[in-house]
Amino acid sequence: MRIFSRTDRSFVSEWWWTVDRTMLIGVGVLLALGYFMAFAASPAVAQNIGMPIYYFANKQLMFLTFAAAVFLAVSMLNPKQIQILAVFILLASIVAVAMTLSIGVSVKGASRWLLIGGLSIQPSEILKPAFVVVAACLFARQRAQFDSKAVLLSFGVLVLVSILLVMQPDIGQMTLLCLVWMCLYFLSGASLSRLVMLTVCGAVAAGYLYATKPHVASRVDRFLDRSAGDTYQVDRAMDAIRSGGVVGVGVGDGQVKSILPDAHSDYVFAVAAEEGGLIFGALIMLTFGFLIWRALNAMRNETEHWIQLAASGLICLFGLQASINLAVNLDIIPSKGMTLPFISYGGSSLLASAITMGMLVALMRRRAVSPMRMSTLTASQLDRQMRGQL
Amino acid sequence: MARASTPIVRAGGDWAAVMGSRLGQRPSDLSHHAVEQTRRRLRVALISFSLVFVVLIGRLADLTTSYEVIGSSKAAKTIVKQERPIITDRHGVVLATQISTTTLGADTSQIENGAAMARQLSEILPRLNQSRAAQLLSRQGPYVKLQTGLTPDERRAVLNLGNPALQLKKATSRVYPNGEVASHIVGFSSSDMRGLSGIELWLDQGEEFSLLDNQFETSLDVRVQHSVRDELMRAMEKFSAKGAAAAIMDVHNGEIIASVSLPDFDANRPTASPKSTHFNKIIQGKYELGSVFKVFTVAMALDGGYVTRDDIFDASEPMKIGPEKISDDHPQNRPLTVDEILVHSSNIGSSKIALQVPEQMHEEFLQRLGMRDRIATDFPARVRPAPVSRWTDIERATTSFGHGISVSPLHVLVAGGAMINGGVLYPPSLQKVAMPIGQRVVSAQTSSTVRDMMRRVVTVGTGKNANVEGYAVIGKTGTANKPQQGTYSEDARITSFLSGFPGHAPRYVMLVMLDEPTGIEATYGQTGAGWNAAPTSGNIIRRIAPILGVLPNRDATQQEAKLLNLQQTAMAEPRSGGSYAP
C-alpha cells in the first residue's frame, strides 16, 4: 500500500519523497528515547520536590508531542522559508533574551526564563538554531560577493548575543554559540591564520570569564581538583554509570535519579546508563553519532553554499550540545548547564531541538537543480542528484 | 573582518539585502570554489565528531566495566568501619554495640530561607536546637550536618517535608546499653566510631585480639559490676564521700570481675558529665593507701623467716627514726605479737617488722609485687607508681604501713590476691584467662598464715564491720591522710579495705576505697576505714557472693576457731594449676 504516490504532486507527498527519511527515523528514535526517559527519570525527581509523581513526565509528554509537530512542520518549509523563519526567530529571541534580564524569572541564580501564558520559556534555546542559519547566510554571502561586512555583521550579532547571555548569566549557551560560530567560520573557508587568531581571542575571553565569574571558576576548579568543593552531582553520576555496568541495573531500578536534583535534565544520561548500562548508553550515543554523520556526509554533496553551511552549522550545534552534555555526564569536562537534545527534560530545549532538526531536515531535502548549475557539478554530485530526481 | 573599521551599525541596514539577495543562487566559479572548500572542511568536521564520539563511548565503556574494582574497595572500606567488635561481659551481656541511625544534613546552596527551614525542622525534631540550625542553614558551605541519630519516626517526618535540600544519610552509632555501669572499663568512642578510652581505645591501638564472632568478651560480670556500683553509691552518699572505687579480681587467674570508680559517666553521653568523672580511680589513680600495706610487710617478714608469728614487738611508745616520730592510730601501748600488730593495725609494730628485713630484700619484695612498675597488661591509661627517690629506714618504715608509697588501687588488689591465694601473683586481665601464668611471691605456708591473720582482723580487729556470716571474710583496713602541700591533711582521708572471700579458701579478692568519707552519727564521728570501707565491703560481699556462686558455709563458721588454729596448708592450696616459680 502506497500512502504517497510518486506522481502525487501534493505538498505532503512532495515532502515525503524529497525528505531524508533516515533522518526522520533518527529523530523519531530520539523522540521515543526522550519519551522513555521522561517516564524513567522524572517521576523520582518530582517525588523529591513534592510534586505529583507524573508531573514532569506528563508535561514532557505534552512538550514532546508539540516538538514532534514543530519538527514536522519546519521540515516541510523550503530553504527560502527557512531563511525568513530564521531571521524572524533571531530578532524575536534577541529581544526576548534582552527582556529576561529585566522581567525574567530567576531560577537557581540565573534569569533565563520568560513567563508567557503560564509557560516559562528560555529564549536563548530558541535563539541558537536561528542564529546558526542567519550566520551561515552571512558567511555564504561573504564568500559569494566578497562582502566582508556580512561576516562582520554575523560577528556583531554573536558579540551582542554573547553579552546578553553572559549577563543572564548562561555561560554554557554562550560557549556553545561561539563554538558553532567558529565551526561555521571554519567551514566557510576562513584562512587558518584567522582561525588561530580567533581561537586565541576565545582563550583570552575564557580566561577573563574564569577570573571574573566566580561560578565559572568554581566549576572549573572543582573539575580539576575534586577537593576544591562540592562535586556531589558529578560524583553521584559517576557512581550511577559505574553501577550500571554493561547491561544496567534494570529499568526503574536506578538509584541516582532519587538523589540527583538534575536527574531528569542535565544528568538524564547518567540515569539512562545506570538503568540500561553500557548497551543503552551506547545506543543513545550511536543515535546521536549517526545523525551527525549522516547530515555532515549529506552536506558534502550539497551544491548550494548557504544551505551547505546552514545545515552543517545546525548539525554542529546539535552535535556539540549533545557531545558537551555527554562529556559532562562522563566527567570528561567541567559541569555545564547543557541539556541532551530531545532526551533531557525541558520544553524550551525540546522546542529548540525540534526547530534545529526541522530546519536541518528541510535543508537536506532534495531539490530540483537548474540546468545551469548542473554544469558546475562534479560527476559524483551529478550522479547523486540525478538518482534523486528519478 | 578585513575592514574592521566599518561600523557595525551600518551593517544593520544590510538586513534587507540579506533577505532579498539571491544568496549563492548565481552559479559561478566563485561559488563552486566555496562549496568545494566547505566540502573539504566538512571532512575535518566529520573526523572530529567521530573522534569525539569514540572518546565518549570509550569513556562510557571504561566506566561501566570498571565498577567491580572501585565498588569492592569502597564496600570493603565501609565494612571495616562498621566491624567494630561488640563488647560483652563474661556471660555475653552486651556492654557496647552499634545500631543504624540516620544523620540529617542539608545542602545550603538550595536553601533560600535558613531560619524558616530551621523553624520547620524544629517542629518535627524536638532535639534540634533551632537557633543553631538556623545559623548552620544560612551558611555558605555546600553541606552542613544538622543532627545525628534520627529515630525512624523523625526520619519519616523529614522525608515527608519533601525538601530536596535536606539529605538523610545512614550512619552507625555506638551504643552502650549499660550506660554508666562499666563506663570506665568499656570506655567510649567518637561519633566516627574511633575508640577514645577504655577497651574501646584498647581495640584501636593496633593490638591483635582473637575475637570470636567479632565479639570482645571481657572478664567483667555485669551483675556484680552493677551490685558493686550500687553499694558504692550508697556508701558515698552515707559518708558524704567525694568519690569511691572498688575492684574485684579472681585470685586464681587475675580476671577482673568488677571495677567501679565513682563518680562515673554515661558512656552514651560522655561529654554530658564533667571531664573529672572520666577518671578511673582503680587504674589511673595514685594513692597512699595506708595500712593495707601491713599485710605485705608481715607476709614479707614471715616468708623470709625474719620474724615468726609469735615474735613480740614493743609498741608501748612512739618510735623515733631520726627526726621523724611514728605513732599508732589505735594505740595499745604494750608489746604486741605479729598477729596483734595486724589486728590492731600498729604502725610502730609494722615499722619494726620491716626493719627486721634487709634493705635490699624489702625493695626486691616490693618489686616482685609489682609496686614499682606499671601493672603488667596492655590496658590503656595504667598509672606508673610514684618513683622512690630515697630508700632509707624512714622510707622503709612508712612504706611498711602504706605511706610514702603511691600506687594505684589495682596494684594493691593484685598484690593482695597473691597474699591470700597461696602465694602466686597473677597479672590482672580484662579478658577471660584460659591458661593463668603467675609468679610465686610468697610460700603457700606464708599465704595461709596471712589469711589467718586477716581473718582475725575481721573477727577481733579493725575490720569487724566487714564480717558476713557464712563467708568468713578476711581483710585489712587502710586509713591514710591525704598528702597535702608537702604534709598530710588532718581530716581528708582515703580509707580502704582489702578483703578476700570465702575466707577458708578465697576465690575473690576485693579492694574498696572511699575518698574523703566524713564522720556520721552511726560511726560516732569516726572516719577510719573500719567504720566505712569495711562495712561497705561487707555489704558488697553479702550481695555478690551468691551471684558469684560462692555458697555460705555455716559449718565452717562454727568450726572457725578450730580451723584457724589448725593452720592446714592443704586447705588453702589454690585449686588452679599455675606455673609456679620454684
If you search the block for the grid coordinates 558579540, which residue do you land on?
A159
Using CA atoms of A215, A218, A220, A225 in order, give the dihedral in degrees to the nearest 10: -170
- Which chain A positions have a beta carbon within 8 Å of B109's beta carbon? 230
| A153/B53 Cβ within 8 A | no
Of residues B488 and B302, more confidently modeled: B302
Which pLDDT score, from 0 to 100, does residue A24 have?
A: 93
| A187/B42 Cβ within 8 A | yes
Q: Which chain B residue's Cα is nearest to A244?
A: B64
Which pLDDT score, from 0 to 100, does residue B11 have?
A: 36
Q: Give me chain B's average pLDDT, please.
A: 82
For the cut 50, the answer to whether the pLDDT of residue B37 exceeds it is yes
Q: How confident is the model at residue A198 (pLDDT cuts 50, 70, 90)?
A: confident
| A48/B162 Cβ within 8 A | yes
**Please, are residues B318 and B348 in contact by the beta-carbon 8 Å criterion?**
yes
- Which chain A positions have a beta carbon within 8 Å of B70's beta carbon? 242
pLDDT digit string, tens, across residues B325-375: 888 888 888 899 998 999 988 999 999 999 999 988 999 999 999 888 888
Sign of the alpha-carbon dihedral angle for B16, B18, B19, B22 = positive
B39 CB-near residues (< 8 Å, 6+ apart): A299, A300, A308
* Residues 57-96 (B) with a CB less than 8 A from some CB of A: 57, 59-61, 63-67, 70-71
Considering only the beta carbons, identify the residue of B3, B38, B110 that sits closest to A309. Answer: B38
pLDDT digit string, tens, across residues B518-531: 888 888 888 888 89
For the cut 70, the answer to whether the pLDDT of residue B124 exceeds it is yes
- Which chain A positions have a beta carbon within 8 Å of B7's beta carbon? none
Task: Report the alpha-carbon distance of residue B263 to residue B23 in Å, rounded.
Answer: 96
A209 CB-near residues (< 8 Å, 6+ apart): A166, A171, A216
Q: How confident is the model at residue B31 (pLDDT cuts 50, 70, 90)?
A: low
Task: Please give the average per-residue pLDDT across B2-7, as a whole number.
Answer: 39
Which pLDDT score, from 0 to 100, does residue A225 have?
A: 64
Q: How confident is the model at residue B206 (pLDDT cuts 50, 70, 90)?
A: low
Considering only the beta carbons, identify the residue of A145, A189, A238 that sits closest to B63. Answer: A238
Q: Which helix (H) or strand (E) holds B168?
A: strand B166-175
Closest CA to B388 of B426, B362, B421: B362
User: Closest Cα of chain A to B537: distance in Å?
Assistant: 60
Active site residue B48: no
Which pLDDT score, from 0 to 100, does residue B205 have?
A: 74
- Which chain A positions have a beta carbon within 8 Å of B18's beta carbon? 87, 134, 137-138, 141, 150
Q: How many CB atoms neighbour CB A246 within 10 A?
A: 13
If you search the block for the grid coordinates 551527525, which residue do you land on?
A292
Considering only the beta carbons, identify the residue of A151, A246, A305 that sits closest to B34. Answer: A305
Task: Report the alpha-carbon distance of residue B65 to residue A169 in Å, rounded.
Answer: 38
Which pLDDT score, from 0 to 100, does residue A106 have?
A: 65
Q: Which chain B residue's Cα is nearest to A141?
A: B23
* Chain mean position to CA A204: 26
Say what the pTM is: 0.52
Task: Report the alpha-carbon distance of residue B194 to residue B203 in Å, rounded.
Answer: 9
Q: How confident is the model at residue B444 (pLDDT cuts 50, 70, 90)?
A: very high
List the end-to-end C-alpha distance of chain A, in Å, as a whole number: 20
Which pLDDT score, from 0 to 100, does residue B73 have?
A: 36
Q: How confident is the model at residue A168 (pLDDT cuts 50, 70, 90)?
A: confident
Of residues A251 and A48, more confidently modeled: A251
For the cut 90, the answer to whether the pLDDT of residue B46 exceeds it is yes
pLDDT digit string, tens, across residues A272-293: 988 888 999 999 999 999 999 9
* Chain mean position to CA B78: 26
- Which chain A positions have a beta carbon within 8 Å of B73's beta carbon? none
Q: Which chain B residue's Cα is nearest to A248?
A: B64
Using CA atoms of A48, A49, A55, A61 in order, give the dihedral in degrees to the nearest 10: -70
| A151/B43 Cβ within 8 A | no
Task: Report the alpha-carbon distance of residue B175 to residue B181 in Å, rounded.
Answer: 13
Describe the crossing of helices B409-420 and B444-459 by its angle, rounded to 10 degrees.
110
DSSP state of B476: E
3-state helix/strand/coil string of chain A:
CCCCCCCCCCHHHHHHHHCCHHHHHHHHHHHHHHHHHHHHHHHHHHHHCCCCCCHHHHHHHHHHHHHHHHHHHHHCCCHHHHHHHHHHHHHHHHHHHHHHHHHCEEECCEEEEEEECCEEECHHHHHHHHHHHHHHHHHHHHHHHCCHHHHHHHHHHHHHHHHHHHHCCCHHHHHHHHHHHHHHHHHCCCCHHHHHHHHHHHHHHHHHHHHHCHHHHHHHHHHHCHHHCCCHHHHHHHHHHHHHCCCCCCCCCCCHHHCCCCCCCCCHHHHHHHHHHHHHHHHHHHHHHHHHHHHHHHHCCCCCHHHHHHHHHHHHHHHHHHHHHHHHHCCCCCCCCCCCCCCCCCHHHHHHHHHHHHHHHHHHCCCCCCHHHHCCCCHHHHHHHHHHHC
Which pLDDT score, from 0 to 100, does residue B36 have?
A: 86
Q: How confident is the model at residue A384 (pLDDT cuts 50, 70, 90)?
A: low
Q: How confident is the model at residue A370 (pLDDT cuts 50, 70, 90)?
A: low
Task: Please give the average per-residue pLDDT across A167-192, as a whole number.
Answer: 88
pLDDT digit string, tens, across residues B535-553: 999 999 999 999 999 888 7
| A285/B46 Cβ within 8 A | no
If you search the block for the grid coordinates 583496713, which residue do you land on?
B477
From the list B227, B259, B261, B291, the catalytic residue is B291
Query: For chain B, what percent of residues have pLDDT higher than 90?
Result: 36
- Which chain A positions have a beta carbon within 8 Å of B107's beta carbon? 230, 232
**B479, β-bridge pairs:** B495
Task: Please give the average per-residue pLDDT across A325-349, as a whole number.
Answer: 88
**Please, are residues A283 and A315 in contact by the beta-carbon 8 Å criterion?**
no
How long is chain A? 390
* Residues 410-439 (B) with a CB less than 8 A from some CB of A: none
- Between the alpha carbon of residue B49 and those of residues A270, A290, A295, B202, the distances in Å are 21, 10, 12, 61
Q: How confident is the model at residue B411 (pLDDT cuts 50, 70, 90)?
A: very high
pLDDT digit string, tens, across residues A236-274: 888 888 888 888 887 777 777 777 777 788 888 998 988
User: Closest Cα of chain B to A221: distance in Å?
Assistant: 15
Task: Please give the average per-residue pLDDT across B127-133, as a whole number.
Answer: 84
Q: How confident is the model at residue B21 (pLDDT cuts 50, 70, 90)?
A: very low
Which pLDDT score, from 0 to 100, does residue B77 have?
A: 35
- Which chain A positions have a beta carbon within 8 Å of B27's beta carbon? 370, 372-373, 375-376
Q: How many CB atoms neighbour CB B417 within 10 A?
A: 27
Q: How confident is the model at residue B235 (pLDDT cuts 50, 70, 90)?
A: very high
pLDDT digit string, tens, across residues B54-111: 999 999 998 888 754 443 333 333 333 456 888 999 998 999 988 888 888 888 777 7
pLDDT digit string, tens, across residues B369-400: 988 888 877 677 677 777 777 888 888 898 99
For the cut 80, the answer to whether the pLDDT of residue B182 exceeds it is yes
For the cut 50, the answer to whether the pLDDT of residue B19 exceeds it is no
| B1/A151 Cβ within 8 A | yes
Sign of the alpha-carbon dihedral angle for B340, B343, B347, B353 = positive
Task: Extract the C-alpha cell encoding A10.
Answer: 501534493
| B21/A189 Cβ within 8 A | no
Best to test chain B binding among A296, A318, A333, A384 (most B CBs inside 10 Å): A296
| A137/B53 Cβ within 8 A | no
| A282/B35 Cβ within 8 A | no
Of residues B486 and B125, more confidently modeled: B125
Q: Which chain B residue's Cα is nearest to A300?
A: B39
Which pLDDT score, from 0 to 100, does residue B568 have?
A: 41
| B49/A319 Cβ within 8 A | yes
Best to test chain B binding among A163, A376, A385 (most B CBs inside 10 Å): A376
Q: Which chain B residue's Cα is nearest to A84?
A: B19
**Please, are residues B381 and B430 in contact by the beta-carbon 8 Å criterion?**
no
Considering only the beta carbons, identify the residue of B11, B18, B59 that sits closest to A156. Answer: B11
| A289/B39 Cβ within 8 A | no
Q: How confident is the model at residue B492 (pLDDT cuts 50, 70, 90)?
A: confident
Which pLDDT score, from 0 to 100, does residue A144 have?
A: 78
For the cut 70, the answer to whether the pLDDT of residue A204 exceeds it is yes
Closest CA to A365 of A279, A324, A304: A304
Map residue B244 onto helix, strand or coil: strand
Task: Report the alpha-carbon distance of residue A70 to residue A90 in Å, rounded.
Answer: 17
Give one DSSP letter per residue of B68-105, joined into a string: HHHHHHHHHHHHHHH-PPEEE-TTS-EEEEEEEEEEEE
- Which chain A positions have a beta carbon within 8 Å of B21's beta carbon? 141, 145
Best to test chain B binding among A84, A88, A305 (most B CBs inside 10 Å): A305
Which pLDDT score, from 0 to 100, does residue A382 have?
A: 60
- Between the alpha carbon of residue A345 and those of residues A182, B36, B92, the distances in Å are 28, 39, 57
Exposed e or buried b for every residue in B545-558, given b needs 16+ CB within 10 A?
beebebebbeebbe
| B10/A149 Cβ within 8 A | yes
Between A316-320, A355-359, B100-104, the lowest mean confidence (pLDDT) is in B100-104
For the cut 60, the answer to whether the pLDDT of residue B575 exceeds it is no
Please report the number of interchain residue pairs, chain A to chain B, with beta-carbon separation below 8 angstroms: 189
Exposed e or buried b for every residue in B471-492, given b needs 16+ CB within 10 A?
bbbbbbbbbbbebeeeeeeeeb
For the cut 90, the answer to whether the pLDDT of residue A333 exceeds it is no
Task: Extract the C-alpha cell encoding A274.
Answer: 545506570
pLDDT digit string, tens, across residues B148-169: 778 888 888 888 888 888 888 8
Task: Extract the C-alpha cell encoding A261.
Answer: 536534583
